[in-house]
Amino acid sequence: MKIGIVGASGFTGAELLRLCASHPGLDIAVATGDSQAGNRIADLYPSLAAAYGDRVYDTYSPDLVDGLDLVFCGLPHGVSQSVVPELRGRVGHIVDLGSDFRLHDPELYPEWYGAGHECPELLDEFVYGLPELFREQLVGAELIAATGCNAATAILALAPVLGAGLVEGEALIVDLVTGVSGAGRPAKPHTTFCAVDEDVTPYGLLTHRHTPEIEQALTEKTGVGTSVLFTPHLAPMNRGIIATCYGRPTRPTTTDEALGALADLYADEPFMVVDERPPSTKATLGSNTVHLTARVDPRTGLVMTMAALDNLMKGASGMAVQCANLALGLPETSGLPIVGVYP
């Protein structure tokens, strides 16, 4: 399959380049990066030199992608809204890694993103890109909005116990820690080495943009109306996310029952590991696999679920490739490692 990456110079674009280099069914025909146009891919990311040699970043134009089977969009928020309408009809499938098309309700964009949506008529045509929960809709889908990294971690941790009726949908709490690569490649004052080293900082208090995405996906999957208090923390690590989620039980329950709910939902999923062992971010490094566990505290009665994943893999580019495999009719696991890198 001939594919393109629009926005291949960012971290998610680099990860897509890495994954596609060893994917048996995908061939990169176009890799744009307007801020790096004309520069060699290997000069920006030496780790990709063996696969891409002297290849340079292309300058984006819609004509460049005509006839491709699929295009990944790895663009900053707000940019895909202007790019997707001109790509549609030129290519077979579009997988957007940004947040421009994840929410179905256009009224949520001014509230959570501070601006109205440029093409709200397309929102209902996009399929939410979380294969473990919405696989049927992704098979052959033309338009896919890949799940956000923070949102994916929280949704995958909470969906089993919520769907099994073990926790109430109201006042769910998500306490999450994420690595710095989630903020993207361009330098920012709060992501420099001196800012993040030996520091952990909460951000997006009460207003983080992934909140409505978490609520939407959980409600659609389980049929239970949800409200989520989501608090992410920036930690001094390159990549990785771990979420600890809490819910009030609907009835007395046990750790075995909570673990059983996770195991049942993800029993046949190749990228999901459910274990009594607590998850860790490093166990997921470089893989498309999520590690999960659960506990029920007999003293407070609260149900706790935990999930860890690599934010650039299962949280972004790995998820996007998994969705692309489904859309293109390829084996879902093609090109995606299930084993992490250690140490």
- What positions carry a catalytic annotation? 149
Question: Residue 278 region, left (φ>0) first, then alpha (ψ -120 to 50), else beta?
Answer: beta
Say which residue the tokens 């207003």 belong to. 207
Side-by-side strand order, sheet with 272-274: 201-202, 228-234, 172-178, 241-247, 303-309, 290-296, 272-274
Contact 232, 150 (CB under 8 A): yes
Task: Look at residue 66 and give its three-state secondary structure.
Answer: coil
Residues 336 and 74: their CA atoms lie apart, in Å, by 18
Q: Which of 199, 147, 160, 189 is nearest to 309 (CA)?
A: 147
The shares of helix, strand and coil residues in the chain, as percent rounded to the nearest 5, are 35, 20, 40
